[in-house]
Chains A and B, each alone.
Chain A
Amino acid sequence: MSHTIVLGVIGADVHAVGNKILHYAYTQAGFFVVNLGVMVSQEEFVQAAIESEAKAIVVSSLYGHGEIDCRGLREKCIEAGLENIKLYAGGNLVVGKTPFKEVEEKFIAMGFDRVYPPGTDPKTSVDDINKDLASL
């Protein structure tokens, strides 16, 4: 099914390679991808999701500031009336080597639905998105 997905790299992060690969993989998987590229603010994610009527926002962060940059995104979505939107985050989300379990708990507590460690095969999130959005 052709789900609409908002994709981007949050904050002051300019890591573009994974973003280009995810864009390619998600398009191949049949999703309609609204790719905001790098250095995307929370407001831009929310705005793009409203405009495109997206069902999911996929946030990447590779540079370590993801923890600061992602705080409050769920609240912003709720304020904008996107109560049911699915939020995904992946990459090197905190500064320094941290057990992934801790990172995952931190981001789930922030309101993300799923969290991925660095180097995750794009297929993993494709399968999850298909599963999560099928029930909506």
Chain B
Amino acid sequence: MNIKNKKLDLNEFMQIRENVLLDWPTGKEVNLEEAFVFQKSLPAHLSFSSLLADAKKNQYILIQPRAGVAALDKHIELLQYLQDVGTADCLPSTIDSYTRHKRFQEAQQGLEESIVEGRSLLNGFPAVNHGVSGCRRLIQSVKVPVQVRHGTPDARLLAEITLAGGFTSFEGGGISYNIPYSKNISLEQTIRDWMYVDRLIGLYEEQGISINREPFGPLTGTLVPPSISHAVAIVESLLAAEQGVKDITVGYGQCGNLIQDVAAIRTLESLTQSYLEEHGYTDMKITTVMHQWMGGFPQDEAKAYGVISWGAATAAFAGATKVIVKSPHEAMGIPTMAANAQGLMTTKQVVSMLKDQRMPLTQELKAEMSIIEQETRSIVDKLFELGEGDIAVGTIRGFEAGVIDIPFAPSKFNKGLILPARDNVGAIRFLEVGNLPFSDEIKAFHAQKLQERAAYENRSVDFQMVIDDVYAIGKGKLIGRGSKGEQQ
């Protein structure tokens, strides 16, 4: 293994860079010196870092949609609508799936066909094809900061173009945008490629231009236990910090049990902060983002609003800095502009109403926080051990060993031995712990929690329980009870 968690040498970075910019013709438009000047010329209200700092200081919750269509004019229209009608505090450009896999030629065809047909055939905004000038036109057409949201294993060219284009936040990471988003790409490759992205952002930081980085919290979005996503977020934060990133928003996908979700957001921030400090990264700005429920949604829009509202309420009780909002069209795929704005308005109403209410630190909350902390620490500490102190090496070895394992992931570099299921109050527990390095006490805790539910439902703890839980919210429940345990 030829990788080290060490700041990339600038000459080496510049050498790699020459090739990165050749991946698509628009790469030629990127001039780093000129990009610094452009970023510095942008007004403060377009800076993600400033907005996040303000929200954290003044304890209000930012709301952000997902959105992206193929054509530039339509995309600008969409973002302006979400800003003006949807009252989004910050905006995204969700990148289409061809671009995510560097299939720029197919993205180009999809873009051209979309313009001809007058509707988007792509599921996002092909930022690389639009190039630096297209991105700048977009950024200068809106009044709030814009983030790149995607799922790209090799995001080097995308980062070069969008950062030069005026985006001030970049989602993803070498683990969170590999294991849930690809099949055959090695972790060593993606961790290395994301070191490049983080080093690039570090170069902007050195110029006094703060670019926010957001490791993707929800991973596969399907019953991911908090300690799994926390471990990934912490590792990606450590890797980013080493390359010079200073502003990080760690993420988490709502599970649905309030106590577990509040405990997750609170421990996510404190654990990340603590690991960064322990490893000498002391001048970091850390904020949190909670994603409203990422799994299957009800088809009915009224029911979907229920799920969205619960996500908004949970983010407020937890005190997340930002919440990523779903739309009432979630079950059907990509929402219309109007439906997307309605999800935002629903969320804004709830987080505003709950602005002054946070969940107090009860015994139950403390207990749940303690479980998450113990589990997360046992995973992350094991990764350091496996890497003999190097977290990049340890993470790669850890995935090979299944010491860190993501449920339902498509990647062959993920062991895939763990299985999650809900306990009798809907918190997500481990039905199979696989090779996670948990203590016997923790393992027994999970087994007992699932036994409680199985006894209540008069069924066995097995894969059918997992399937029932995957479908449950779409069917109007949180817990996929067997027929005998069903509450009307």
**Same complex:** yes
Q: Are B333 and A118 in contact (CB under 8 A)?
A: yes
Of A14-22, A48-56, A82-90, A126-134, which stretch is located at the interface?
A: A14-22
Q: A16-B408, A21-B470 are in contact. Are A63 and B121 (CB under 8 A)?
A: no
CA distance A4 to B98 in the complex (A): 31
B147 at the interface (CB under 8 A from A): no
A39 at the interface (CB under 8 A from B): yes
Q: A65-B97, A97-B336 are in contact. Are A16 and B296 (CB under 8 A)?
A: no
Of B138-146, B179-187, B227-235, B368-376, which stretch is located at the interface?
A: B179-187
16 contacts between A and B (CB under 8 A): A11-B97, A17-B222, A39-B101, A65-B97, A65-B98, A65-B121, A92-B332, A94-B333, A95-B334, A96-B329, A96-B334, A96-B335, A97-B329, A97-B332, A118-B333, A119-B299
Closest to B463 in A: A24
Interface centre among B103, B121, B335, B339 (most CB of A within 10 A): B121
CA distance A96 to B474 in the complex (A): 18
Out of B120, B121, B410, B463, name the residue touching A14 (CB < 8 Å). Answer: B410
Out of B106, B220, B463, name the residue touching A16 (CB < 8 Å). Answer: B220
CA distance A13 to B122 in the complex (A): 12
Closest to B301 in A: A97
Enumerate A62-103 residues with CB–CB distance to B below 8 Å: 62-65, 67-68, 92, 94-98
Enumerate B59-103 residues with CB–CB distance to A below 8 Å: 96-98, 100-101, 103
Out of A12, A63, A96, name the residue touching B103 (CB < 8 Å). Answer: A12
A7 at the interface (CB under 8 A from B): no
Out of B97, B334, B410, name the residue touching A37 (CB < 8 Å). Answer: B410
Out of A11, A16, A97, name the residue touching B333 (CB < 8 Å). Answer: A97
List the A side residues contacting B333 at CB < 8 Å: 62-64, 92, 94-97, 118
- Would you give the shortest CB distance from B413 to chain A, in whole angstroms? 13
Q: Are B123 and A64 in contact (CB under 8 A)?
A: yes
Q: A14-B151, A97-B333, A118-B332 are in contact. Are A24 and B467 (CB under 8 A)?
A: yes
List the B side residues contacting A65 at CB < 8 Å: 96-98, 110, 121-123
B201 at the interface (CB under 8 A from A): no
B409 at the interface (CB under 8 A from A): yes
- Would you give the shortest CB distance from A70 to chain B, in whole angstroms? 13
CA distance A67 to B119 in the complex (A): 13
Closest to A119 in B: B474
Q: A38-B183, A67-B121, A97-B332 are in contact. Are A16 and B470 (CB under 8 A)?
A: no
Q: A24-B463, A68-B121, A95-B122 are in contact. Are A17 and B97 (CB under 8 A)?
A: no
CA distance A17 to B295 in the complex (A): 10
List the B side residues contacting A12 at CB < 8 Å: 97-98, 100-101, 103
Closest to B412 in A: A37
CA distance A97 to B336 in the complex (A): 7
Enumerate A1-60 residues with CB–CB distance to B below 8 Å: 11-14, 16-17, 19-21, 24-25, 37-39
Q: Are A64 and B181 in contact (CB under 8 A)?
A: no
List the B side residues contacting A13 at CB < 8 Å: 97
List the A side residues contacting B96 at CB < 8 Å: 65
Interface bin, chain A:
20 to 34
List the B side residues contacting A68 at CB < 8 Å: 106, 110, 121
B53 at the interface (CB under 8 A from A): no
Out of B119, B123, B220, name the residue touching A63 (CB < 8 Å). Answer: B123
Q: Are B336 and A63 in contact (CB under 8 A)?
A: no
7 closest Cβ pairs, A-B complex? A92-B333, A16-B410, A64-B123, A38-B410, A97-B332, A12-B97, A17-B408
Q: A21-B470, A119-B299 are in contact. Are A14 and B98 (CB under 8 A)?
A: no
B331 at the interface (CB under 8 A from A): yes
Count residues of chain B with CB under 8 A from any CB of chain A. 38
List the A side residues contacting B110 at CB < 8 Å: 65, 68
List the A side residues contacting B332 at CB < 8 Å: 92, 96-98, 118
Q: A21-B470, A65-B123 are in contact. Are A119 and B296 (CB under 8 A)?
A: yes
- Would you give the shortest CB distance from A124 to chain B, in whole angstroms? 13
Q: A12-B103, A118-B332 are in contact. Are A97 and B339 (CB under 8 A)?
A: yes
Interface centre among A17, A68, A119 (most CB of B within 10 A): A17
CA distance A64 to B119 in the complex (A): 13
List the B side residues contacting A38 at CB < 8 Å: 183, 410
List the B side residues contacting A20 at CB < 8 Å: 408
List the A side residues contacting B180 at CB < 8 Å: 14, 16
Interface centre among A19, A21, A63, A97 (most CB of B within 10 A): A97
CA distance A13 to B331 in the complex (A): 17
List the A side residues contacting B106 at CB < 8 Å: 68
CA distance A119 to B181 in the complex (A): 21
- Would you give the shortest CB distance from B389 to chain A, in whole angstroms? 33
List the B side residues contacting A17 at CB < 8 Å: 220, 222, 408, 470
Q: A12-B100, A37-B183, A97-B339 are in contact. Are A64 and B334 (CB under 8 A)?
A: yes
Q: Are B119 and A95 in contact (CB under 8 A)?
A: yes
- Would you give the shortest CB distance from B175 to chain A, in whole angstroms? 14
List the A side residues contacting B222 at CB < 8 Å: 17
Closest to A96 in B: B334
List the B side residues contacting A24 at CB < 8 Å: 463, 467
CA distance A19 to B409 in the complex (A): 11
- Would you give the shortest CB distance from B188 to chain A, in whole angstroms? 19
- Would you give the shortest CB distance from A101 to chain B, in whole angstroms? 13
Closest to B97 in A: A12
Out of B120, B296, B299, name the residue touching A95 (CB < 8 Å). Answer: B120
